[in-house]
A and B are shown apart, each in its own frame.
Chain A
Amino acid sequence: MTAVQTYEQRLGQLDRSVEDLQDGFLKAIEHLRQTPEADCSFEDHWEEIAQRMKGLRDEINAEDFDKDQLATLATALLDIRDLLEEDPRNNLDICDQLMIVLERIRHVVRDALDEHVAGVPGDVGMVMGDLDRWLKRVPDQAIAEVLGVDRRTLSRWRGQATQPRRELRVFVHLVAILRHNWDAEGIMAWFNRPRRELQGRRPAAVLNDPNWEDALIGAARSGRNQYGT
């Protein structure tokens, strides 16, 4: 009997698979560099790598990704197919492009893993479980104020398995991103600090407005990466 893998296990496995492929690919390039006249062992190794690249499609479970991520993955898989047809063995530029495409796949997988929240499609109790884990010691009152609900609503949600409300879904998505750089107190403070990307508004002030959803997600992600300011 095959055990059903969790979301994290599936994506973790895919992530490792792509990373192994990149390592093998770099080793093959090194081999080629040291022994320009490719021997049989190289040909076998290269063939295995090419087959694994083509086989990546079968390792991707569409349900694990959103629409944009799936579009990026589909384009990357097509690019791999096209690049392999150009026979990269004698062309370092093609090798470079293949490496970049593989990295694009890894980035999508990593984003999906980093921002995953259990239960978002239809189980508010599971969503609250993730929130409680990430916002330990934050009083319910503080969370309820940001969400614009009564404190008792949070307790009620913990015991339900219904679809989470939009505001909660956005809030927990933001927390899933912010937890990579902020402690719980810092996360709650983030919601109350005016931001340039929101034209000086506080995230908490626009959380309930669907028009600001993308800007909020972008603002949360922006704290993860150094940019030229």
Chain B
Amino acid sequence: MARRPPTFVDQVVIAYRATSYDVPVWVSPNRRHGRWNIANQEPIAQYMSLDAEAPFAEMLRHENLRSESDASHYKTTIWQLQVDSGAIVDYSTFELAEAAGFDPEALVSDDYERCQAEARWLVSHNARGVLTPSAALPGSTSLTLFGPRVRVRWGTSVKLASSVPAQPISTGAPPTGLTDRVRYYGQREPRLEEYLRESSWREAGGRD
């Protein structure tokens, strides 16, 4: 049976993103693979988070910095972005993803292939972004926008589809204690496990 087209929500949110470049968003295809993109191919993916700790967590997971000591030698700038976009797909919970026909395990899997294929499918249906659970910081939410974006000054009233007002808010090392909460590659995702347990309990009739 063919999958039904994705349903969209509007997102007017402040998002956060870590980068040491002088602009926080891209206009060219990503240079490397990410969960929702393939290197040097469309769609361009702009990765951000809905809280200011998750960007650090993404970097700690990527760089495999597991101790406070290792993390203390790393620094980055956290940017604040004013996102005002329609056509966002809401997979922010495992339940929402599954209800939309997307395997919830793929959202946080260490293998990105299914998410990359899903991104192509979503963009083919004119999606401009997707909300998902953060694989790096359980409990946080990631927002990935598809397509090129250009940073404009904070406070600018957006006139062009690509414009995103953004400003740097801090530069420094990851917050102390964050390494204990990051989910590194190869580690289990407790919230996914809980969701799957509850799902199978419901499927079994919801009785002990």
Q: Hey, which bits of chain A sit against chain B, CB under 8 A?
A: 22, 26, 29-30, 33, 72, 92-93, 95-96, 99-101, 103-104, 106-107, 110, 114, 180-183, 185-186, 189, 193-197, 218, 221-229
Residues of A within 8 Å of B27, CB to CB, are 100-101, 103-104, 107
Point out the residue from B49, B63, B115, B162 that lies within 8 Å of A100, measured CB to CB: B162
Known: A189-B70, A227-B47, A229-B135. 10 other contacts (CB 8 A): A26-B156, A72-B28, A96-B160, A96-B162, A110-B21, A183-B75, A186-B74, A197-B32, A228-B36, A229-B185
Q: Is the CB of B159 within 8 A of A26?
A: yes
Alpha-carbon gap, A99 to B132, bound state (A): 29
Residues of B within 8 Å of A194, CB to CB, are 64
Q: A26-B159, A96-B160, A221-B31 known; A226 and B148 CB under 8 Å?
A: no
Q: Hey, which bits of chain B sit against chain A, CB under 8 A?
A: 17-23, 26-28, 30-32, 34-36, 45, 47-49, 55, 58-59, 61-64, 70, 73-76, 115, 132, 135-136, 142, 144, 148, 150, 152, 156, 159-163, 185
Q: How far is the CB of A109 from chain B (nearest CB, A)?
A: 11
Q: Is the CB of B163 within 8 A of A99?
A: yes
Residues of A within 8 Å of B32, CB to CB, are 197, 218, 221-222, 227
Residues of A within 8 Å of B21, CB to CB, are 110, 114, 224-225
12 contacts between A and B (CB under 8 A): A29-B159, A72-B28, A99-B150, A103-B148, A182-B74, A186-B74, A193-B63, A218-B32, A226-B47, A226-B48, A226-B59, A229-B135
Alpha-carbon gap, A171 to B155, bound state (A): 41
Residues of A within 8 Å of B34, CB to CB, are 227-229
Q: Is the CB of B73 within 8 A of A30?
A: no
